[in-house]
C-alpha cells in the first residue's frame, strides 16, 4: 500500500516538465493577448497601411528585402545571389522569406493593388520566435546544470524566459529576438567546446550571429578571454582561437562572396553601420560645437553629402558607388569626432546613460504609438518613466550583489566571460540612444540577477527552518 502511494506522487522530473510547459503556454497566451489588442491597430507609411505589430525597421528593411528575394526567384535567380543592397541585417529578411515561402506560398508582403502590408500567419512567426528561445533555454539548462547547482540553473533559465525586458522582443519583428536566442546558444556551445573542431563550429555560429546583428563582429575577442583561462598549454589555446576566427571569417567570406556574385562588389559590412555616426551623433556634435540649431546642422550635413556625391560623381543607384559614398561619410564623421573630442564624450555619455534606463514596455508602446513624439507626450510615458527610474537601480544593485555571490559559485573564466559580454555589448551598442541596444547586456546581467534571487530564496528557506 505504501509503495503504491509513493508511485502516485509525481516525481521531480515530471514536475519540472509540467512547470516548463506551463511557462511556455503562459507565453503563448501573452502573445495571443498582444495580437488581439493590436492586430487591428493600423499605421500608414508611404501610402501603405500596415498593422502596428510591424516595427518601422521591419517595414523599411526586412519586408522589402524579403519581397525582393521573391522577385529574384521569379526571375530564376538562385536564392544565394538574390536580394538587394546589404543595408541592415543580412539574415533576418531571409528568415522572413523562408517563413513566407513555407507558410504563405511566397505571397508578397507588400500588396501594391490594395496598398497594404501584410505577412500572413505572422502570429506563427511570433510563436516560432518564442519556441526557439524556449528550447535554447532548455539547452542552456542541460549545459549549465552539469557544473552549477540544478536549482540555480532552473532559476537562471526561468528568469531569462520571464524577464519582460527580454521577452517583449519575441513579440516583435526586430532582430533582437533571434539574436538573444543566438546568445543563449553561444553560451551553451562555449561551455561545451573542448577541442579545435568545437571552436571552429563556435566561430561559424558567431558569424551567423553577425549575419543577424553586426554588433557581434569583434565578439570573438570576448571569447578569447575565456580561452586564455583554459587549463591547458598556450599553443592549444592559440589553436582554439585560430579555429574560432577561421569559422567567423568563413561566414564573412560567404557574405562578401554573395555580394560579389549579386552586385559585383565584395563587402561584408552593411552600409547602415557606416552612416550611423552621422545619423545619430554628428548632428549633435556640429550643433553644439558651432552653436547652431539642429535644422542648421542637418542642412550643413545634407550639403556636405551633396558635395561628396557631386565631387566624386557617385551614382547612388550603383551599389559600388553607394559603398564608396558611405565610406566617405564615415571618414568625415570620424574627423568631426576627433576634432570635437570633449563634446563627443559629453554626447556619448548622455546616450550611454539613456540606453541603460530599462524599458520593459518598449515594444508595447511602439505598437500603440506610431511615433516617438506621440508616446513622449502621452500620459503612458509619464507613468512609465517613473517606473523605469525605480526598476533600473533595483536591477543593477541586485545584479551587482549576484555578481559578488557568483565569485564562489561560477568558474572564474566563465564569470569573466559574462562580465566582459555585458561590457562589450554596452560599449559597442549603447552609444546609440536606444534602450533596446542594451538588451544583450541585460541578458547576461540576468544571470547575476538570478544568482541573487537564488541566494535570497536560500536565506528565507533557512529563516523558515529556524522558525520551525
pLDDT tens-digit map of 78-121 = 888 899 999 989 999 999 999 999 999 999 999 999 999 999 99
Q: Is the pLDDT of residue 5 over 50?
A: no
> Which contiguous run of DSSP H or E holds residue 116?
strand 116-117
Number of domains in the chain: 1
In a domain, 98, yes or no: no
Q: How confident is the model at residue 220 (pLDDT cuts 50, 70, 90)?
A: very high
Residue 322 Cα to chain centre, angstroms: 26
Residue 368 maps to a domain: no
What is the DSSP secondary structure assignment for residue 10, as one 8-state letter? P
Three-class secondary structure of residue 48 per DSSP? strand
Cell triple for 416? 569573466
Q: Is residue 287 part of a domain?
A: yes
User: Does residue 346 sit within a domain?
Assistant: yes
How would you label 459-468 residue by residue, b for 16+ Cβ within 10 Å and e otherwise? eeeeeeeeee
Instruction: Write phi, then psi, for 111 (nearest 5 degrees).
Output: -95, 105
Closest CA to 130 of 19, 61, 30, 18: 30
Rounded CA gap, 226 and 159, in Å?
24
Q: What is the DSSP string of 9-22?
A: SPPHHHHHHHHHHH
Average pLDDT over residues 261-281: 92
Report the mean per-residue pLDDT for the chain. 93
**Could you tell me whether strands 48-51 and 116-117 are parallel, antiparallel, or unpaired per DSSP bridges?**
parallel
At residue 7 the predicted structure's pLDDT band, cuts being 50, 70 and 90, is low
Q: Among residues 324, 335, 317, 330, which one has the least CA distance to residue 274?
A: 330
Domain boundaries, position 315: 271-355
* pLDDT for the residue numbered 10: 58
Separation of alpha carbons 186 and 184, rounded Å: 5
User: Do 231 and 273 meet the contact criterion of CB atoms below 8 Å apart?
Assistant: no
Does 72 map to a domain?
Answer: no
CB within 8 A of 181, min separation 6: which ones?
A: 129, 132, 133, 136
The verdict on residue 292 lying in a domain is: yes
For the entire predicted model, the pTM comes to 0.93
Chain segment 299-349, per-residue pLDDT in tens: 999 999 999 999 999 999 899 999 999 999 999 999 999 999 999 999 999
The secondary element (H helix, E strand) that includes residue 45 is strand 42-45
pLDDT band, very low/low/confident/very high, at 229 (cuts 50, 70, 90) = very high
Measured CA distances, 407 to 146, 415, 421 (Å): 18, 7, 16
Average pLDDT over residues 211-232: 95
| DSSP-derived 3-state class of residue 120 | coil
Amino acid at each position: 500500500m505504501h509503495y503504491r502511494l509513493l508511485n502516485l506522487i509525481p516525481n521531480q522530473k515530471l514536475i519540472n516538465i509540467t512547470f516548463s510547459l506551463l511557462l511556455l503556454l503562459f507565453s503563448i497566451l501573452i502573445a495571443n493577448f498582444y495580437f488581439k489588442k493590436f492586430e487591428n491597430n493600423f499605421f500608414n507609411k508611404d501610402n501603405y497601411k500596415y498593422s502596428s505589430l510591424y516595427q518601422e525597421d521591419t517595414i523599411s528593411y526586412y519586408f522589402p528585402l524579403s519581397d525582393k528575394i521573391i522577385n529574384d526567384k521569379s526571375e530564376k535567380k538562385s536564392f544565394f545571389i538574390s536580394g538587394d543592397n546589404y543595408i541592415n541585417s543580412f539574415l533576418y529578411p531571409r528568415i522572413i522569406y523562408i517563413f513566407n515561402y513555407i507558410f504563405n506560398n511566397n505571397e508578397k508582403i507588400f500588396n501594391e493593388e490594395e496598398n497594404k502590408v501584410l505577412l500572413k500567419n505572422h502570429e506563427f512567426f511570433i510563436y516560432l520566435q518564442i519556441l526557439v528561445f524556449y528550447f535554447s533555454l532548455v539547452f542552456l539548462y542541460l549545459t549549465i546544470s552539469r557544473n552549477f547547482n540544478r536549482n540555480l540553473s532552473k532559476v537562471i533559465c526561468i528568469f531569462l524566459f520571464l524577464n519582460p525586458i527580454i521577452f517583449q522582443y519575441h513579440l516583435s519583428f526586430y532582430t533582437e529576438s533571434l539574436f538573444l536566442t543566438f546568445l543563449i546558444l553561444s553560451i551553451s556551445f562555449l561551455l561545451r567546446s573542448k577541442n579545435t573542431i568545437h571552436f571552429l563550429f563556435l566561430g561559424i555560429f558567431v558569424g551567423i550571429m553577425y549575419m543577424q546583428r553586426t554588433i557581434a563582429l569583434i565578439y570573438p575577442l570576448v571569447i578569447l578571454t575565456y580561452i586564455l583561462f583554459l587549463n591547458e598549454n598556450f599553443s592549444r589555446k592559440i589553436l582554439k582561437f585560430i579555429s574560432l576566427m577561421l569559422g567567423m571569417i568563413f561566414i564573412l567570406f560567404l557574405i562578401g562572396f554573395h555580394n560579389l556574385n549579386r552586385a559585383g562588389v565584395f563587402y561584408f559590412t552593411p552600409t547602415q553601420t557606416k552612416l550611423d555616426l552621422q545619423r545619430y551623433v554628428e548632428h549633435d556634435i556640429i550643433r553644439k560645437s558651432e552653436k547652431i540649431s539642429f535644422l542648421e546642422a542637418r542642412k550643413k550635413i545634407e550639403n556636405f553629402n551633396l558635395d561628396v556625391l557631386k565631387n566624386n560623381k557617385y551614382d547612388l543607384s550603383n551599389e559600388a558607388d553607394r559603398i564608396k559614398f558611405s565610406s566617405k561619410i564615415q571618414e568625415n564623421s570620424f574627423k568631426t569626432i576627433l576634432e570635437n573630442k570633449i563634446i563627443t564624450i559629453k554626447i556619448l555619455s548622455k546616450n550611454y546613460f539613456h540606453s541603460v534606463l530599462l524599458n520593459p514596455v518598449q515594444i508595447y508602446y511602439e505598437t500603440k504609438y506610431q511615433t516617438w513624439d506621440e508616446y513622449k507626450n502621452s500620459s503612458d510615458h509619464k507613468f512609465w518613466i517613473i517606473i523605469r527610474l525605480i526598476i533600473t537601480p533595483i536591477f543593477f544593485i541586485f545584479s551587482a550583489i549576484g555578481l559578488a555571490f557568483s565569485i564562489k559559485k561560477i568558474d572564474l573564466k566563465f564569470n569573466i566571460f559574462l562580465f566582459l559580454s555585458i561590457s562589450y555589448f554596452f560599449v559597442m551598442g549603447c552609444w546609440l540612444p536606444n534602450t533596446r541596444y542594451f538588451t544583450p547586456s541585460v541578458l547576461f546581467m540576468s544571470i547575476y540577477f538570478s544568482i541573487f534571487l537564488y541566494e535570497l530564496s536560500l536565506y528565507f528557506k533557512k529563516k523558515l527552518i529556524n522558525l520551525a
